[in-house]
């Protein structure tokens, strides 16, 4: 992925996804919604480490959820 424009567009799309979820705290999201959100970010080439950093959760918790999908 070209670091500049593609990364910006992917980040912008994820921000829109988060806004669509009405900025709910992750604790309030259903497990199914978390899996969907993480999977969409993975589809946009975000690494688990980056997703964990963005949402202040452990990489392990993301991996466990994605394994359930």
Phi, psi of 20 (to 5 degrees): -60, -25
Who wins on pLDDT, 17 or 49? 49
Provide the residue count of the chain.
69
Q: For residues 14 and 55, is the Cβ–Cβ distance under 8 A?
A: no
- Predicted pLDDT at 2: 43
Q: Residues of the chain with pLDDT > 70: what percent?
A: 59
Query: Which residue has tokens 């070209």?
Result: 2
Residue 40 tokens read as 């969409």
Q: What is the average pLDDT across 15-20?
A: 62
pTM (2 d.p.): 0.61
Q: What is the average pLDDT across 51-69?
A: 88
Q: What is the average pLDDT across 23-28?
A: 59
- Average model confidence (pLDDT) across the chain: 76
Distance CA 10, CA 16 (A): 10
């Amino acid at each position: 992925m070209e670091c500049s424009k593609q990364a910006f567009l992917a980040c912008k799309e994820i921000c829109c996804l988060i806004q669509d979820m009405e900025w709910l705290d992750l604790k309030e999201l259903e497990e199914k919604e978390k899996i969907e959100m993480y999977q969409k970010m993975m589809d946009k080439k975000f690494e688990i480490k980056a997703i964990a950093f963005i949402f202040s959760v452990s990489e392990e918790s993301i991996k466990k959820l994605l394994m359930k999908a």
